[in-house]
Amino acid sequence: MTSVLADYFPVLVFGVLAVIIAGAMLGSSLLFGHQKPYAEKVSAYECGFEAFDDARHRFDVRFYLVAILFIIFDLEVAFLFPWAVSLSRIGLFGFLSMMGFLGILTVGFIYEWCKGALDWD
């Protein structure tokens, strides 16, 4: 399986380059910048008045709903990839099995549309 790894050598090069560039940006600003922090400078700027509260509020649960719906349709698309690649081999049965899968998820999609889970009022 060395050939598979050899195929991914350009990816490794890209990764190393990304680490080098990001490290150079962060490191050089750390090295060459003037850093004289004091209490006023590092405090949160809140448009003219003191900060009311901590910024770490609890998130609304609707973000979670959006994320989990995203995961489900992400998985649906992930199943479409091998299907599209080997559609010429699996024939009508493979096509119909994917249509059944999509139909099941479309039921859920219609349900969430009608329940208003996609609305963000």
- Binding residues (CB under 8 A) for other proteins: these are 1-2, 4-5, 8, 56, 58-65, 67-72, 74-76, 78-79, 81-87, 89-91, 93-94, 97-98, 100-101, 104-105, 107-109, 111-112, 115-117, 119, 121
How many angstroms separate the CA atoms of 63 and 59, rounded?
7
The minimum distance between CB 34 and other proteins, in angstroms, equals: 29
Q: How many CA atoms lie within 13 A of 92 on its CB side?
A: 0
Q: Pick the closer one to other proteins by CB: 14 or 111.
A: 111
Task: Output DSSP code: residue 83.
Answer: H
The minimum distance between CB 88 and other proteins, in angstroms, equals: 10
Cβ(98)–Cβ(80) below 8 Å? yes
The minimum distance between CB 63 and other proteins, in angstroms, equals: 5
How many angstroms separate the CA atoms of 75 and 113, rounded?
19
Closest CA relative to residue 75, chosen from 57, 101, 49: 101
Q: Pick the closer one to other proteins by CB: 13 or 87.
A: 87
Q: Pick the closer one to other proteins by CB: 31 or 61.
A: 61
Cβ(109)–Cβ(102) below 8 Å? no
Q: Pick the closer one to other proteins by CB: 38 or 63.
A: 63
